[in-house]
Amino acid sequence: MDWPALILSLKLAGATTLVLLPVGVILGRLLAFHAFRGKRWVEAAITLPLVLPPTVLGYYLLIALGVASPIGQAWQALTGQTLVFSFSGLLIASVVFNLPFAIQPLQRAFEGVGQDLRHAAWVGGLSPLATFRKVELPLAWPGLLSALVLTFTHTLGEFGVVLMVGGAIPGETRTIAISIYDRVQAFDTAAAGIMSAFLLLSAFLAIAVVYGVGARAVRLRG
Amino acid sequence: MGSAPERFACVAEIAETLGAGLRVRLAQAGPIPLDVDLACPPGQLHAIVGPSGAGKTTLLKAIAGLYRPQAGQITSDGMVWFDSAAGTWLAPQARRVGLVFQAYALFPHMSAQANVETSLAAQPRAARAARALALLTQVGLADKAHRRPADLSGGEQQRVALARALARSPDVLLLDEPFAAVDRRTRRRLQQDLATLRESLKIPILLVTHDLDEACALADQMSVLHEGRVLQTGAPDQVMARPASPLVAELLDLNPG
């Protein structure tokens, strides 16, 4: 077991989830409750990481965050380090490729709450914030949990984008998924096997949790 | 037969000069066409009838502050809720409207009592439970206050929705097809309850329905709505007896002649 790689992966997954939680809630609610021009395009852009080959996404992120790009240059001026092949760059990439995993469950969950319940709360005198706290969140929390679990687990397992943007620098950007590949290349199938089993188990548990929560929520609503 | 409608017309006139009750004037060409002018004095039950898609729910939403039309005015007891010319638009929270939604829109994760308490947020926390329970007692549901909506029958859910709508001591009560989702027997009982309730409520009540019998049985005034436009307003028996146009007669399903 490549412990530094596992710890790095857990760190990256935790940070990604933390960043995407507010982003997912804000964008998921916006898409669920508001109609606006170009909404389909926004939804398509958010879904893109699901269908795009990770190497393609990684390539564009590499260009966008690279030393020659405005973002990369600004980052270098600010911190003195390059954004690509660093943990920070990896985090940005990770946030981007996890957008659909965070936003879609939340959007569906808020859509499930429906406009009528929000309207009923407003007419009853509840402020938008109180409506969010007392009505929207208690009904949408299974979606919130799904978003958290899916984002976290998906980050643990992502390979293509991480390799493109992060390289495989031990302790900095070599995540567990990349470490598995390295171990296989080195004919160390025992280590690759243990790490693969770990990812398999965590993915399975994550999906089981998401499904279990979904079923519970359905019972609650009757 | 002519005296009752005349009396109501007279009451409406006086109320309007005093600014009492609900006054709604709305006009817009699209996206949902609206051409509405109606007054509902305190204590009056005014039915809005029309086919589905006539704009009945849109009209209620505009009054409740959930839909902002392009042009018009809405006042309640002289207080301006909406005035397009002055750019006035009060949020639903500021309007004191009681609204019973078509599908009730009860909060599924809360007990009946908690549902009613959400409309009592302006009151001190300690007083809410007692007031909610009193309202549920009033609609005959004191023993089911702790049940969730899913564990209540359709008629019971409707009464919880009514209790919640009344909890804010609203200035206007809006009922959106409140009897559409219950069986015939329950409907008759709930309609009787409403007839009794309105005796004690000194506020304007707007009842949206596609059921003409219901409008005739319960309402003092009736407006026929078609494609967002009020075609005729009057006492139900008057409208039924003398439809203003062939279209009104057709909408009311009256045989010509």
Residue in chain A lying closest to B170 (CA)? A124
Beta bridge partners of B25: B37, B73
Residue of A116, A127, A221 with shortest CB distance to B103: A116
Residue A222 has pLDDT above 50, yes or no: no
Give the pLDDT score at B125.
86
| C-alpha to C-alpha distance for B167 and B190, rounded to whole angstroms | 18
Structure confidence at residue B6 (pLDDT): 57
Statement: residue A61 has pLDDT above 60: yes
Interface of B with A (CB under 8 A): 61, 64-66, 91-93, 95, 97-99, 101, 103, 105-109, 118-119, 121-122, 148-151, 164, 167-168
pLDDT at B97: 94
User: Rounded CA gap, A46 and A50, in Å?
Assistant: 9
Could you tell me what percent of chain B has a pLDDT over 90?
56
Residues of A in Cβ contact (< 8 Å) with B109: 138-139, 220-221
Confidence check: pLDDT of A76 > 50:
yes
| CA nearest to A155, candidates A183, A179, A126, A176 | A176
Determine the length of chain B.
257
B150 contacts A117? CB cut-off 8 A: no
DSSP of chain B: --HHHHHHHHHHHHHHHHT-SEEEEEEE-SSS-EEEEEEE-TT-EEEEE--TTSSHHHHHHHHHTSS--SEEEEEETTEEEEETTTTEE--GGGT-EEEEBTTB---TTS-HHHHHHGGGTTS-HHHHHHHHHHHHHHTT-GGGTTS-GGGS-HHHHHHHHHHHHHTT--SEEEEESTTTTS-HHHHHHHHHHHHHHHHH--S-EEEEES-HHHHHHH-SEEEEEETTEEEEEE-HHHHHHS-SSHHHHHHTTPPP-
Strand B229-234, strand B97-100: pairing: unpaired
pLDDT of residue B198: 85
pLDDT digits (tens, 9 = 90+) for B28-60: 987 888 999 999 999 899 999 988 888 899 999
Q: What is the pLDDT of residue B16?
A: 54
Across chain A, what does the average pLDDT equal? Answer: 91
Residue B116's closest chain A neighbor by CA?
A124
Instruction: Give the residue ranges of chain B where pLDDT is below 70.
Output: 1-19, 254-257
The tokens for A123 are 């007419």
pTM of the model: 0.85
- Among chain A residues, the shortest Cα distance to B92 is held by A123
Q: What is the pLDDT of residue B14?
A: 54
Q: Are A123 and B99 within 8 A, CB to CB?
A: yes
For the record, the structure tokens of B238 come out as 């008057």
CB contact under 8 A, B92 and A221: no
Closest in A120, A122, A138 to B101, CB measured: A120
Here the ipTM equals 0.88
> What is the tens place of the pLDDT at every residue in A183-209?
999 999 999 999 999 999 988 998 898
